Structure 1
Amino acid sequence: MPIRIPDALPAAEVLRKENIFVMDETRAIHQDIRPMEVVLLNLMPKKIDTENQILRLLANTPLQVNVKLLRIDHRESNNTPSSHLERFYRDFDDIKDQNFDGLIVTGAPLGQVPFDEVYYWDDVRNVIEWSRTHVTSTLFLCWAAQAALNYLYGLPKMTRGQKLSGVYEHRTLNRDNPLVRGFDDYFLAPLSRYADFDAGFIGEHTELQILADHPEAGVYLAASDDLRQIFVTGHPEYDFDTLDQEYQRDLKAGINPVLPENYYPQDDASQTPRARWRSHASLLYSNWINYCVYQITPYDLAKMPPKDEPQAKQLAG
C-alpha cells in the first residue's frame, strides 16, 4: 500500500521524484475501500494449473481481489474435467453487462494458427472490445497480447521460424511508468512462444510505451498511455517446471523441440530446473493491481472511465 504522509511535508515531493508512491492525507481521507473485481479469461489447456499460477500472484497484494473465471471455448477439454468447468467457470453472456476493475486474458497454444482459423477468434475479439468499455485495465498475456495488438492496432500476426522457449534476461525501460516501479535494471522471465514482438515495428506502428525488451526476443512488456491495456509477451506466472513439462511433452510428440534456453542447470534436462523469476512476477502483478487498477478504477463500477481510442499509426503499404 502507499505511504500516507501530510500534504505539505517536503518529503512528499522528494519521494515522488524518486518514483515512490505517496498518498497525501487529503486523498486518503476521502478514499473508500472495496474489493477489486477481476475476471480471468483462461484460454490455456491445463486450466487448473493456470488458475493456481495466476491466483497465486493476485493473492500477493494487500488488496482484496474477487476473481471470476471465464471461458469462451465450450468444446470438450482433454486437460480439465468438465465438472470443474461447469462448477467454477462462467460464460461471457453471464458477465457482459457488468463492469470490472481488471481483466486477465491468458495465452493459448495457438502460435502457429492464423487468427481467422482460431475456433473462438470472434469470441476473443468480442471480449477485447467489451473490455474497452467495461474494464478499467486489461492484462494480455503471450498469445492474447498478439491477438489484442491485432484487434486494437491492426498489427499483423508475426511468427518466428523457431519457438522461443526458456528464461530470458529482459531490460527495464521507461522507469517513470508505475508498472515497472521497483524493477531491477534487468530481470528474468519465462518465454514460450512462436509469436514475434519486434520492438521497432511496435514502436513505429503504435503509441504504446515499451517497458521491457530483449535483444533477441523483442518486446516483453508494453502499455497504453492510460494503462488500460497492458501487454506481457511471456509467462511470468509459470511454475518452475512448466517449461520442462512443455519440453517433455513435445519430445514425446516427436516434435524435436529446442532445449529451453537458460533454464536447466548446466543445460542438462535431467536436472531439476529452478524458478528465478518469482520476485519479478509478483512485483509485476502487484504493480498492475495497485497502479493500473486500484488507483484508477472508480469506487462505483457503474461509473467506468470513458475509453480512449487505441493510438495506431498508419501501417506502411
Structure 2
Amino acid sequence: MATPQIKIGILNLMHDKVDTQKRFENVFAHAECPVKLTFLYPQTHYRDRPVPELVQAISRPLDLARLNEFDGFIITGAPIEQIDFSAVTYIDEIHQLIDRLVKLNIPQLYICWGAMAAANYLYGIEKHRLAEKLFGVFPNHIVNHGPLLAGLPDGFLAPHARYAELDHQQIIDHPDLILEATTIDDNLFSFRAPKYQQSFLFAHLEYGREALLKEYRREKNAYPDREYAKPLNYFLDPIHMRGPQFKWQPAQHIYFDNWLQTVANDMQNKQLVKE
C-alpha cells in the first residue's frame, strides 16, 4: 500500500522568501514519506499595493476556505518582532488563520515571530524586547521531553536569531502549555499545547549553513552606520567571519522528522474515525 502524501501549508512571512522556501524544501526533502509543500502569503499584507511578481510566482494567496486541503500547517518567523502585534498590517488575517486551523484540528507549527504572535493571540502570553539580539548557535536544555524532542540529547545545538522573547512564567503557569526546552541562558527554544496539536518553536531550525551570515549581512547592509552583533558560536574564524558551521543540522533533521511524524499520526487517527 502506497504511503499517503502529507500536504503541508506554509505561510511564508520571511523577508527572504525564495531562500526560506528553499530551506523548508531542504528540510523535508529527506522525509521517508512523500511531502507536498504549498507556500502562501497573507493577502492583507498587500492591501494597498500590488502583490510583487516574485511573490505571486512562488506562492499563492492565503484562502481560509481551502485550509482543509492541508494535513499540517506552518507559520514562519518574520523580522518584525520589535513591532507591537497591533501595528502589523496583516495581524487580523493571522488571527483568522489560527482560528480556522484550531477549528479544523490541523497540527500547527509556529516558528519565531509566528510563535510569538500565535501564543499571544491564543494564550495571552506577553512579548518583551531583549536587551540585545539573541544571535548565534547555542546549546539547549530539555525541560520536559515531548514528541518533537524525541532523539535529541540534552545540550543539542540550535540557531537563534531574534530581538524579542515571551514571558516564561506565563507559559509555565498556563494549564494548556508545556515548556519543552530553553537555551542554557534560559531563552526559549520551544513549548507546546498538546490539546490543540500546537508547537511553538523559537529557534530557526529550518536555517541552512549560510542563513545566519546572510541575516547579519542583510541588517548591516540596510543600516551600514549601525553596529550589529555577529552570530556567536558559528564561524570557524569568528574574527574574519569565515567558515560558517552547520552544527544544528542533526537537530534540524530530528525535530522536523518528529513533527512530520505527528502529522502522519494525526492523519491516521482521522482516517480511523472516518472508517
**What TM-score, normalized to structure 1?**
0.77
**What is the CA-CA distance between 1:224 and the residue it aligns to?**
1.2
Q: Secondary structure at the match of 1:196?
A: strand
Code of the residue aligned with 1:103 in structure 2: it is: F
**Residue 95 to residue 70, structure 1, CA distance change in 2 (3 Å):** farther
* 1:103 and 2:79 matched: no
Q: 1:138 to 1:106 in 2, by over 3 A?
A: same
Larger Cα-atom Rg:
1
Q: Cα offset for 1:227?
A: 6.1
Written as runs of structure 1 = structure 2, the 5 A alignment for 1:207-222 is: 207-222=176-191
**Conserved 8 A contact 1:40-1:104:** yes
Q: How far apart are the structure 2 equivalents of 1:224 and 1:297? A: 18
Structure 2: tracts of 5 or more residues without a match: none
Moved more, 213-222 or 271-280: 213-222
Q: Which residue of 2 aligns with 1:249?
A: 218
Equivalent-residue separation in structure 2 for 1:68 and 1:250 (angstroms): 28
Read off the aligned partner of 1:286 and give its amino acid letter: D
Q: Deviations over 1:104-123 (max 9, x none)?
A: 11000101100010111111
Structure 1 gaps of 5+ residues are 1-30, 305-317
Match of 2:198 among 221, 226, 229: 229
Q: CA deviation at 1:207?
A: 2.7
- Greater share of helix: 2
Counterpart CA distance in 1 for 2:57 and 2:247 is 34
Distance in 1 of aligned mates of 2:106 and 2:25:
19
2:230 corresponds to which residue?
Answer: 259
**What displacement does 1:217 show?**
4.6
The CA deviation at 1:136 is 2.2
Structure 1 vs Structure 2 CA RMSD: 2.5
Distance in 2 (alpha carbons) for counterparts of 1:231 and 1:206:
16
**Inter-CA distance 270–92: structure 2 relative to 1 (3 Å threshold):** closer
- The 8 Å contact of residues 64 and 97 in structure 2, kept in 1 or not, is answered as no
Specify the alignment match of 1:35 in structure 2. Answer: 5
State which of 235, 238, 253 in structure 2 corresponds to 1:282: 253
Go from structure 1 to structure 2 and tell me whether the alpha carbon gap of 1:63 and 1:231 turns closer, same or farther (over 3 Å shift): same
Match in the other structure for 1:192 = 161
1:182 to 114, 133, 151: 151
Cα deviation 1:199-245 (Å, max 9, x = unaligned): 33311235312221114252201111236100000101112121112
Aligned pairs for 1:23-172 (under 5 A) are: 33-72=3-42, 73-74=45-46, 82-93=52-63, 95-96=65-66, 98-172=68-142
CA separation of 1:76 and 1:186: change in aligned 2, threshold 3 A: farther
TM-score, normalising length from structure 2? 0.88
Deviation of the 1:84 alpha carbon: 3.4
Q: How many residues align?
A: 268
Tell me the secondary structure at the aligned position of residue 109 of structure 2: strand
Q: Kindly report structure 1 stretches of 4+ aligned residues shifted beyond 4 Å.
A: 298-301
Percent of counterpart pairs with the same letter? 29
Query: How much does 1:298 deviate?
Result: 4.7
SS at 2:108's partner residue?
A: strand
CA distance, structure 2, for counterparts of residue 196 and residue 94 of structure 1: 29
Give the conservation status (yes or no) of the 8 Å contact 1:99–1:135.
no
Q: CA deviation at 1:300?
A: 6.2
Query: Do the aligned partners of residues 32 and 46 (structure 1) sit closer, same or farther apart at CA in structure 2, a change above 3 Å counting?
Result: same
Residues 76 and 113 in structure 2, CA contact (< 8 A), matched pair in contact too: yes
The separation in 2 between residues aligned to 1:41 and 1:86, in whole angstroms, is 13
What SS does the corresponding residue of 1:272 show, helix, strand or coil? strand
1:154, distance to aligned residue in structure 2 (A):
1.1
Deviation at 1:37, TM superposition (A): 1.4
TM superposition shift of 1:52: 0.7
